[in-house]
Amino acid sequence: MDVSKFDLVEEVRVAMLYRVKLWKSLDEWGNVLVEKWRTAPFENVDVSEITQKSEYYTKVALQCERNLPVGSSAVARLKQLVFDFRETMPIVEALGNKNLKVEHWTEIKTIIGLG
């Protein structure tokens, strides 16, 4: 069975959709979200939002990895950025615990050299 021109057009369309999603995700993740989280006062950090966004961008990175040509540096970059950030999430979640009291914060500041 021969591949029609319409089949090829559909393949190109799908590949372009993944590329657009990849580039938008790189920009949103690297230039908007992470910067917003890094500069926000810690008490304003929404752990559930960060978790939700990191799960979404993990899925995007893995989808792009499966559907775009092997060896794409943009795919590798997004995946690295998201996965590296996700490694910090247990710390963010622990520090976002509403049950931390003044004495806990004093000890934390002492441990990291701020107290």
The predicted pLDDT at position 78 comes to: 95
What pLDDT tens digit does each residue of the chain (115 aa) get?
566 777 788 888 988 999 999 999 999 998 899 999 888 887 788 888 998 999 999 999 999 999 998 888 999 999 999 999 999 888 888 887 888 898 998 898 898 888 6
Global confidence as pTM:
0.79
* pLDDT on residue 97: 82
pLDDT value of position 3: 62
Q: Give residues with Cβ within 8 angstroms of 88, minimum separation 6.
A: none
Which pLDDT score is estimated for 8?
A: 82
Q: What is the pLDDT of residue 2?
A: 64
Name 28's Cβ contacts closer than 8 Å, sequence gap at least 6.
57
**CB-count exposure of residue 63 (10 Å: 0-12, 13-18, 19+):** middle
Q: Per residue, what are the HEC states of the chain?
A: CCCCHHHHHHHHHHHHHHHHHHHHHHHHHHHHHHHHHHHCCHHHCCHHHHHHHHHHHHHHHHHHHHHCCCCCHHHHHHHHHHHHHHCCHHHHHHHCCCCCCHHHHHHHHHHHCCC
Phi, psi angle pair for 45, to nearest 5°: -75, 130
What is the structure's pLDDT at 1? 54
pLDDT at 26: 95
Domain ranges of the chain: 5-112
